[in-house]
Amino acid sequence: MTNMPEKKAFCSLHGLNAVITGSSSGIGKAIALELSQAGATVGLHSRKSINSIEQIRKSILSQGGTTHVFQADLRNNDAVESLAEQAWSEMGSIDIWVNNAGVDLLTTEEARLPSINKLDLLHSVDVRATYQLSRAIAIRMKSRGKGCIINIGWDQADRGMEGESGELFAAAKNAVMGFTRSMAVSFAPEVRLNCVAPGWIKTAWGETASPVWQERVMRETPLKRWGLPEDIARAVRFLVSEEASFITGQVINVNGGAIR
């Protein structure tokens, strides 16, 4: 009787190296844990939340995973370049890179800044750093012959949301969604680049959102619930896996069916 080859688990990432920027909390933390559970060696990154990163690292290690920890302020161009170089060198090449880091203008002291200063912050981290890291890593991946990059967009960026926050995040995330599509063409066929666009996800802001916002989320979301960071993480796991090998240059909405 012929021995059948062992079937690989669906969306397995065993033997792969992955880096997730902004992985100290929320969506980034969920992605890091999900990719680790799929078998990847995970590079954790934070600007300053080292205590939070250490807790995530311990959790991954307790489950038999492997991690690396990187600290870099992505508002600084030199730090961005150093992060790419350090991560690639320390991990011995990278198969998966997720640009999740972004500025929190809703639950931090930056929420009180004038709008033009908020725009500068969003441009420096969400746009410029994501662009720099995407190119720096894609160049290395293309030279190596393979790799996958995920950027994080926003499902309402290309259809509009009223208010200052809607205007600011649209300016940043439309840029990310646009250059992801173009880079996917530039670096094909060796490198795949896709963008995940979350809808209403219950991160720190959603936990304390007013009844007005809670009602709005239910009204605008056909699945009638908040999304969870784990919903985004599972979409990322699929997109970076071999099962998604014919998907590139796409913006994938993970938003419970919202279409407004």
Residue ranges of domains in the chain: 17-254
Q: Are strands 41-46 and 17-20 parallel, antiparallel or unpaired?
A: parallel
Q: Is the pLDDT at 214 greater than 60, yes or no?
A: yes
Q: Is the pLDDT at 25 greater than 80, yes or no?
A: yes
Q: How far apart are CA 68 and CA 162, in angstroms?
A: 40
Under 8 Å CB-to-CB from 217, ≥6 apart: which residues?
200, 206, 209, 226
Tokens describing residue 9: 């688990």
Q: Is the pLDDT at 1 greater than 60, yes or no?
A: no
Q: Of residues 106 and 254, which shows the higher confidence score? A: 254
Dihedral pair phi/psi, residue 119, rounded to 5°: -65, -40
Determine whether domain 17-254 maps to CATH 2.40.128.20: no
Q: Is the pLDDT at 199 greater than 90, yes or no?
A: yes
Q: How far apart are CA 173 and CA 179, in angstroms?
A: 10
pTM of the model: 0.93
Mean pLDDT value across the chain: 93
Q: Is the pLDDT at 2 greater than 60, yes or no?
A: no
The region that residue 244 occupies, defined by phi over 0 for left and psi between -120 and 50 for alpha, beta otherwise, is alpha
Q: How far apart are CA 95 and CA 74, in angstroms?
A: 21
Q: Is the pLDDT at 4 greater than 70, yes or no?
A: no
**pLDDT at site 225:** 93
Q: What is the pLDDT of residues 111-129, one digit of tens each?
A: 888 999 999 999 999 999 9
